[in-house]
Amino acid sequence: MLAYVDAEARARFASLMQSRDDIVWISNEGAGVLPDTRAQLETLGIEPDGRFVLSVDGQAVALTGPHGQSYVGIAVIP
Instruction: Indicate the domain borders of the chain.
Output: 2-73
Is the pLDDT at 75 greater than 90? The verdict is no
How many residues in the chain? Answer: 78
Cβ atoms 15, 56 nearer than 8 A:
no
> What is the residue type of 54?
L
- Dihedrals phi, psi of 37, to nearest 5 degrees: -65, -50
pTM for the predicted model, two decimal places: 0.84
DSSP 3-state of 10: helix
**What are the contacts of 39-42 at 24+ separation with CB within 8 A?**
40/77, 41/74
Mean pLDDT of 11-38: 92
State pLDDT tens for residues 2-20: 999 999 999 999 999 999 9
